[in-house]
Structure 1
């Protein structure tokens, strides 16, 4: 990570394949989003660093990401953690040069890579948030999933009100682990999903399920699949959005199939086998292929 510390801000220097405007377009895809705000090309987000809620305001210059800390005077260690979060949120460790070389030779990705150049996977650094979001979204429309998340965060999350605006942080697994299914059900669509989420929260409370544990597993996908509520799509989604596996591929994703139908001018969505055949050319970069295809749905 390359960054510079200033009195009221930090300045982050991303890789050259980074387009903040494109990332904002993806982050702005739902009016129901509650975990960040975007106004006049400034992205505001509430972070929890060592138990303290800190509002950050993120914008971009020609060469850097500017992170203003308007309501805090944080020590260097805290600022390092803020930078680390933002670096991970925008997946800035990935070197996209090879992806763009691959995409330039692929009939599906060629135009997308040009149109959305510099777009990076918008990650979910917190494992519990990533798992809950994936479980909430199972077998329901995306807009409804956003509504459920909004209500869940407003009921169980933390917030900070500054100058009349309220900013929210996702509920902790410690908070959710102490709930029963009936208390959570109306925020999760079904009792089964409530049970799954509470089970995940308890596993994290006990320390058996952590990002560190998953990253050390020889096959973290199989390990994730041992938990109730985590199927192949959920596991691949979390590996893609939280664990930074560029080859993770939620191949059964409805949005992915819809995007492929659109890009290829098909009369029907491709089958799983047809999607596998297309993805042969994306080896090692399936996650980015999927993400760029998702992006194409938000024109």
Structure 2
């Protein structure tokens, strides 16, 4: 085993409770566990099972990295990027907070929860497959499917946690394996399609990609629509200007905040969100938080 320690500085007024709550959403704890101020998450880094054991302190995150194998420089670079993502350090909330301070809708929300942060997935592949898994189903069911996907395609770390699969692992699954575990045929086909494209090199997924270039590539894939693209840009790339008009929770939150009886349709929601560009991702985060108490 390879063990390394890292300390990541945290910004002032960092909302550690929000980050901890996000990682604790799956109570079964197959790939992530949260206890007190500690997050344990298993990931694959260029084929090596790695445990990110992170303890949040007031000004820093103290990270213990336990790898079941050697980590080269490229793998360590991936570790650093994964830590930034799971600690919600990719999108600075301050510009949005300043932009909406006098806004009649978001001003009060930001005043109640200043500095809300959005957690990203440890890799773009995890973000994309999580977006596919979560399409058009409720969150508890999506979390259950995600757990099943990890159990089928992921790999164990010596700690006992399971690593979220990389593309090559998921590409080896067959359709019946997924559909026999409550995946719809369309969802299973899309998961396998993106996994095989990524494994074969036909789909490039890297966190340093330009989201403007990544979006049309993703949208061209059968089974991938605008919501999935925007959610992948949000969770995978930390893109600050994702338009989530296709998200049911965003539209429900908007309905409540506007005091209306019907959810606004996609076109109206898109037009309404446009006024907050280039900060539409943070707008979605506060809309989610207004419903659920944590970012979606």
Task: Classify 1:136/1:217 alpha carbon distance in 2 versus 1 (closer, same or farther; 3 Å).
Answer: closer
Normalising by structure 2, report the TM-score. 0.86
The residue that corresponds to 2:109 in the other structure is 112
Alignment partner for residue 66 of structure 1, among 62, 69, 73? 62
Structure 1 stretches of 5 or more lacking a match?
Answer: 1-6
Query: How far is the alpha carbon of 1:284 from its aligned partner?
Result: 0.4
Alignment partner for residue 242 of structure 2, among 242, 248, 252? 248
Query: How far is the alpha carbon of 1:14 from its aligned partner?
Result: 2.7
Aligned residue pair count: 290
Q: Does 1:126 align with 2:123?
A: yes
Q: Does 1:227 align with 2:221?
A: yes
The residue that corresponds to 1:44 in the other structure is 40
Query: How far is the alpha carbon of 1:191 from its aligned partner?
Result: 1.4
Query: How far is the alpha carbon of 1:92 from its aligned partner?
Result: 1.9
The residue that corresponds to 2:14 in the other structure is 18
Alignment partner for residue 149 of structure 1, among 146, 153, 168? 146
The residue that corresponds to 2:196 in the other structure is 202
Q: 2:121, 2:180 → 1: CA distance?
A: 24
Query: How far is the alpha carbon of 1:70 from its aligned partner?
Result: 6.9
Query: How far is the alpha carbon of 1:288 from its aligned partner?
Result: 1.3
Task: Classify 1:183/1:47 alpha carbon distance in 2 versus 1 (closer, same or farther; 3 Å).
Answer: closer
Q: 2:208, 2:7 → 1: CA distance?
A: 31
Q: Does 1:94 align with 2:88?
A: no
Q: Does 1:34 align with 2:30?
A: yes
Normalising by structure 1, report the TM-score. 0.85
Q: 1:112, 1:73 → 2: CA distance?
A: 46
Query: How far is the alpha carbon of 1:122 from its aligned partner?
Result: 0.8
Q: Secondary structure at the match of 2:179?
A: helix
Contact 2:211 2:239 in 1 (8 A): no
Contact 1:8 1:73 in 2 (8 A): no
Q: Secondary structure at the match of 1:16?
A: coil
Q: Secondary structure at the match of 1:241?
A: helix
Q: Secondary structure at the match of 1:282?
A: coil
Query: How far is the alpha carbon of 1:118 from its aligned partner?
Result: 2.9
Contact 2:42 2:164 in 1 (8 A): no
Alignment deviations for residues 49-107 of structure 1 (CA, whole Å, 9 cap, x no partner): 34332222212222111113478898794655433321133342433321111121222
Q: 2:203, 2:114 → 1: CA distance?
A: 35
The residue that corresponds to 1:263 in the other structure is 257
Q: Does 1:282 align with 2:276?
A: yes
Deviation larger for 287-296 or 67-76: 67-76
